[in-house]
Amino acid sequence: MLKDTKLVPPTLGLLLLVSLLATHAHHSNRDTASSSTPAYQHDPVYRPALDEARSETSIDPLWLGTPSFDGQGILVGIVDTGIDVNHPDFTDPETGSRIVGVFDRGDPTGPPPPGFVTGTYYTEQNIQDGLVSQTDENGHGSILAAIAAGNGASSKGLYQGAAPASQILVAKVSQDAEGSMPEAWVVDGVRFLVEEAERRGQPIAICLGFQSQMGPHDGGTSLEQVIEDLTGPGVIFCAPAGNQGNASVSDQASASTGDFTLSVQSYTPTPGTGQDFFAVGIWVKETGSPSVRIRSPFGFVSSTFGPGSQTTTETVDGRLFVANPAGTNPLNGDQLILIQVDDEAGDAPGSGNWTFEMSGGSGSASAWVYDASMFVAFPESDHSVSIAQPATSPSVVAVAGYKTRNDWPTKTGTTTYPPLSDLGQTDLGDLAPFSGRGPTADGRVKPDLAAPATMIGVASGDAMNPFGVDRQLPSGSYVAYEGTSLSAALVTGTLALMLQKNPLLQPQEAIAILRSTARADSFANHGFSPTFGEGKLDALAAVTRVPFGLGGPGDLNFDGSLTVSDLTQMVNFVVDPEGHPLFGDARLRADIYPAESGDGFVNASDLARLANLISNVPDTPETLSESVAVSLRQNSPFEFECQFSGAAVRSGQFELLGSSQWKDVVVTSDSDISFETRVLEDRLRVVWVSIPEAPNVVQFKVQAQGQEHARMTNPWLADNQGHRLSILADTFEPNDTLEEAYGPLQSAVTVESFISVEGDKDYYYLDAQATFLTITLTQIPEGADYDIFVVDDQNNILFFSDRPSTLDEDIDVALGTEGRYWIRVEAVASEILFSDTDAYLLTATFDPANQPPKVTLLAPNQGTFPEGSQTEVLWTASDPEGDPLNYTVEF
């Protein structure tokens, strides 16, 4: 999205729900309801929108840390004007091009990508072989790719992007050298990137470096709804706030008695027709029958256009077209009125003030100029809600831009901004005047944060539009550029680093981390502003706060545990590597034989070892040639059975039967107790839930294949207030029978405690020697909202969750290192469970003075209990009167 005060004529459309047809050959000063209407289409048509930028945002230290984060194994997706596949910044000297695929949506030559019916897809092999005819005529896509992922090869590393080791995937969706992007093409481009990333098994950070003002600015465009459907774990979109923040393109008025004044600056009409025009969209909320009447600069007054109108009128101030469809727009429930004035009848749009008088509505109306060939503005605009789409989507990271340079080096010397220009009068560090402002039309917080946007050194592609000497940098094929799309590209690269640390990072988690780590200064204050969002990008702080991703060797689906799902993926790959390929980190994780480092190959040996790991069987030196059979059978909606068999699995047959729900049982001292089991992937959880009538002493047993493997005794108090206890057995207590079947085993048992939460805010203090935390929410009222924060003693947020509750939901948090942590919960009548597979609850103290409960988790002997040992756990708590409540658990 380059900074630009003029827009080009509209080209394609999909959003408007009325037909827009042909033209009139004469003009008059009267309304004419005609069967022929303008041949313009009014869907969004999107426009294009390092050196010091990296140091300004603390990216460089991430490359040098231990571990380092440079984007290795992560895809950076670009939906824009294409890419210069030959630029050195996109090439690795050892492995060749870092571009792994290009989809040219506008090239009908073919073949298209799988699942698409048009366009041309250049595979990774095509690119390596130099068989690519796609070019970036505009250059904007190459710029975004360089900022997000360039390696700076042409500048000896000076102009590196944020994620220089990442791979690049491109969708070219522009239809001309000016960079116009039809929405249908953009949708295809977005779909391609997400589907290809899924096929490759790699996380992807996607940069949407374009803008449009055509739409409701509330996340309700067709494109934004597609993005909402496609985004998810490991798929995160980023978009600029737009470059029309100071262009007065937006205004608000009453839909019943208000009016909009649009000023058309004096200009020289372009000869011919189809050259001069402006177009406005008015979105009306709430109910009523919104209507509009239009006054032109030279006194023409139209009739009132009510719902159901679609009219062309020829005037001395240009041809007027109005479409006011009956009913609400299905995308967001608003009512849409479109107005276009053009020169198709011979007279160019008149200069001066145009007035759009509203009546008949019952709510508010918002207007945006979404296209114009001359300078137009709402003089009464306060510049709010000028943020462009798709940055208004709830799941897209929306990025504003600020000024970071007064001057820059060029091939002819040093260049500065003209002193009287907008940027010349802007202080370093202040918002770039062109940066789009929030909030969204429905009042949501956007943009999320800001990043550098002025005169950033970027790669200049061979097919790029020429730049003057005042923009050409002395180092290689680079130019100085500005615009909020550059800010978005920098944040996209940062997202790639965040995904490298946690491949399953959720979009809302990423947004929360970027917001909470954004830094404040004299321009960007703490707390949301419609200009800077929550502050300025601090990439080092953001990546540091991301919890490490789950899993390790053998965990092919990145869910943090070795399960049947991983084994299924391994079987499919070993049997049919071309039909079920593994890419990126998933491919590296599959190579686990003879040890985690692998041998460079993925074959039956890796498959056999993964099956052993899932069954908790120690490694064996021998490799058997017999195949492994894996079956998954669902017995009922709440039960399933997994079975591994085959001589390659040393443990023999291994079965787990369990339920996906908790179960309350009435327990007394003489009850014949039965237990509800809950299978968590490869772990067997045996659960007992307490009731108001407290039992005396209850014995718990864990059994598998008829053998008893663990036992516990628990005396409960008569005034038990609903505390719950569970046993988690990752492996079973060894005995002779089991050793024959499974080989040597170690036992790890976790005791978990539920703590009731009432009220708006509760704080739990946690001393954790374990590095992994599971927060389980149970019995939450349907539809309740809750926020969960995990912070360290420096108040750094390690984890944030903000989403509607679901019953029996497990939330995993990787703490990273031993330390002291706080857990804050903002919820309504929920229950929080703290646990760790290598830890058990030692103490829980409830201060009678309403202080936050203090909880300590310890991991004795790394969670291993030697055979025959007895471990006693004392849980001491105080009730509201301060009387001690003691519980003892014996293993």
Q: Which residues are catalytic?
A: 80, 140, 485
Give the residue among 258, 148, 157, 133 at the shortest CA–CA distance from 204. Answer: 148
Q: Is 123 exposed, middle or buried (0-12, 13-18, 19+ CB in 10 A)?
A: middle
Give the residue among 796, 850, 852 at the shortest CA–CA distance from 825. Answer: 852
Give the residue among 866, 803, 806, 812 at the shortest CA–CA distance from 835. Answer: 812
The Cα–Cα gap between 187 and 223 comes to 6
**Pairing label, strands 204-208, 75-80:** parallel
Structure tokens at 260: 């909009």
Q: Are 209 and 116 in contact (CB under 8 A)?
A: no
Beta bridge partners of 679: 684
The Cα–Cα gap between 501 and 479 comes to 32
Q: Are 797 and 768 in contact (CB under 8 A)?
A: no
Q: Are 280 and 369 in contact (CB under 8 A)?
A: yes
DSSP string, 406-440: SEEEETTEEEE--TTSTTTTSPTTSBPTTS-----
Query: Packing angle between helix 484-501 and helix 507-517, nearest 10 degrees?
Result: 110
Q: Is 28 left (phi over 0), alpha (psi -120 to 50) or beta?
A: beta
Q: Is 550 exposed, middle or buried (0-12, 13-18, 19+ CB in 10 A)?
A: middle
**Pairing label, strands 854-858, 762-768:** parallel
Between vectors from CA 636 to CA 635 and to CA 637, what angle results, nearest 5°? Answer: 140
C-alpha 295: how far from chain center: 45
Q: Which amino acid is at 279?
A: A
Give the residue among 576, 558, 567, 514 at the shortest CA–CA distance from 202. Answer: 558
Q: Are 358 and 255 in contact (CB under 8 A)?
A: yes
Contacts of 298 (CB under 8 A, 6+ apart): 316, 317, 350, 352
Contacts of 659 (CB under 8 A, 6+ apart): 638, 639, 676, 677, 678, 679
The Cα–Cα gap between 169 and 587 comes to 18
The Cα–Cα gap between 602 and 580 comes to 13
Coil, strand, or helix at residue 51? helix
Structure tokens at 71: 């984007």
The Cα–Cα gap between 615 and 327 comes to 60
C-alpha 72: how far from chain center: 19
End-to-end CA distance of the chain: 64
The Cα–Cα gap between 550 and 561 comes to 8
